[in-house]
Structure 1
Amino acid sequence: MEHRTIGELMTRKVVSVQLDTPFKDIARVLADHAVSAVPVLDALGRPAGIVSEADLLRKAADRSDLSGRTPVPHLEAWERARAEGRTAGELMSAPAVCAHPEWTVVEAARLMEVQNVKRLPVVDEADVLLGIVSRSDLLRVFLRKDQAIEDEISHEVIGRTARLGAAGVTAEVVRGQVTLHGSVDDPLLIPVLMRMCAGVDGVVAVSEELRPAVAAGSARPAGRSAAHA
């Protein structure tokens, strides 16, 4: 199976700023391009960090407010230092957490989750910026048509495992949810098939209604959803 790569999903025309870009210029770039964050590049075009609306708002939140209607947020020393920053290099979140164009959606999604970030600059072997990928970009794989998913499962999953005893299996896909029907020679093949189907781009969940081929005349309770994207 071939997963869509980050290079296929990323945005190539990336809005960015430099390390010495002033605060107000950053705010203007975000507003003019309707984005919530931009990479901060060094002199060689390599992402040094990310500066976001949250980084800029930290400065506003740290200012005194005579009304007293809202509590003053507690800022750690490093947060206060960044709130006092004047340039992108002083305000940014660093280091930049980056991806590479050959990565799969799974790899990028896992990195976003572990690092708790919403976007990843995409860099080449020299760490030069190529593009940027966001959470919404990764979700585009779930826009795949059911027929495309069903065709891939039929050819790549069932086709590959036919000799192992999956020749009697068919797949039905509705709104990204896969149901496997038919019979298998070996019941131990069932969890293997389900895991393989769950790995297909665009699959939301997998359930099975399979039975052992040797017991085709006896009904087996239908399996429930056990594999999710």
Structure 2
Amino acid sequence: MRHRSVADLMTPEAVVAQRGTAFKEIARLLDEYGITAVPVIDDDGRPVGVVSEADLLRRHTSGTGPDTAEGLMSSPAVVAHPGWSAVRAARVMEERRIKRLPVVDDGGRLIGVVSRSDLLQLFLRRDRSIQEEIVEDVLAGTLGVSPAAVNVQVDDGRVTLSGTVRQRSLVRIVDRLCRSVDGVVEVVNRLDFDRDDRDGRDEQKGRDDRDGRDEQKGRDGRDGQQGRDDRTGLPGAPA
């Protein structure tokens, strides 16, 4: 399975400000491009902070304070890397209560910006595409489960699984992998299983079966000897 990364979702042509960019110019950039924040970069193209709508409003309300990006920005900049998963980027946004992340390369230079709306693109994925990935990559490719064994239905990102897999442990694994597929909103798991392999139960069952066969064999042997004894009329000893 291949998950879409920040590199797949980000906007590569980022709108930026310099340290000396004035208050009104920053406000114009936010309005013109319909964005809520702008990264501030140094002379080497590395993000040193971010100026958001909230920063501008705070300065406007107070009526005093700095009026350039360097004084207005929140610093240091919280950044993302192109190899991050969408889930990781979303988690950072949630934890830091921000809507956009500058994306930097290995040298720390700005290469793009990823926003909440960019991440939401994952949930615009077609149901057919989600179904194909689950059947071909998750079931057949990763787990070796025959597509004929599991029925996969997808409706508006809601995945319903039905059918039978070999082992009980596979039920949870299939569920977990399906939830990790890009665009999946919910998984309804109705899978059944042929064999319960939890906590060594199969191993214990095998021992129980062997013990039962051995006990039965012992009884059969004793019964056979008793039958011969009955035919000779003696209590199990030769005449």
User: Of 102, 109, 115, which aligns to 1:134?
Assistant: 115
Q: Is residue 11–residue 132 contact of structure 1 (8 Å, CA) maintained in 2?
A: yes
**C-alpha separation in 1, matches of 2:3 and 2:183:** 10
8 Å CA contact 2:40, 2:50 repeated in 1: yes
- Cα displacement (A) at 1:30: 1.8
State how 1:57-136 maps to structure 2 within 5 Å.
Answer: 57-63=57-63, 84-136=65-117
Q: CA deviation at 1:61?
A: 2.0
Question: The residue matched to 2:168 in structure 1 has which SS?
Answer: coil
> Which residue of structure 2 aligns with residue 24 of structure 1?
24
Partner of 1:56: 56
Secondary structure of 1:125's aligned partner: coil
Within the candidate set 118, 122, 125, 1:144 is matched to: 125
Identify the residue that residue 5 of structure 2 maps to in structure 1: 5
The amino acid across from 1:143 in the alignment is L
| Structure number with larger C-alpha Rg | 2
Amino acid at match of 2:16: S
Once residues 33 and 155 of structure 2 are traced to their aligned partners in structure 1, the CA distance between those partners, rounded to angstroms, is 37
C-alpha distance in 1 between matches for 2:155 and 2:147: 21
Separation of aligned partners in 2, 1:172 and 1:158: 13
Q: Residue 185 of structure 1 aligns to a residue in which SS?
A: strand
Q: SS of the counterpart of 2:184?
A: coil
User: Contact between 1:167 and 1:184, CA under 8 Å: does it hold in 2?
Assistant: no
- Whole-Å Cα distance in 1 between the matches of residues 123 and 70 of structure 2? 36
2:52 and 2:148 mapped to 1: Cα distance? Answer: 52
**TM-score with structure 1 length normalisation?**
0.80
Partner deviation per Cα, 1:138-162 (whole Å, 9 max, x = no partner)? 0101111000000000011111213
Judge conservation of contact 2:30–2:38 (CA < 8 Å) in 1: yes
Is the 2:135–2:147 Cα contact (8 Å) retained in structure 1? no
Q: TM-score, normalised by structure 2?
A: 0.77
| Percent identity (aligned) | 48
Checking the alignment, whether the CA contact within 8 Å between 1:46 and 1:128 is kept in structure 2 is: yes
Could you tell me which runs of 5 or more consecutive residues in structure 1 were left unpaired when the two chains were aligned. 64-82, 216-229
Is it true that 1:189 corresponds to 2:170 in the alignment? yes
CA distance in 2, matches of 1:55, 1:177: 39
The structure that is helix-richer by fraction is: 2
Map of 1:205 onto structure 2: 186
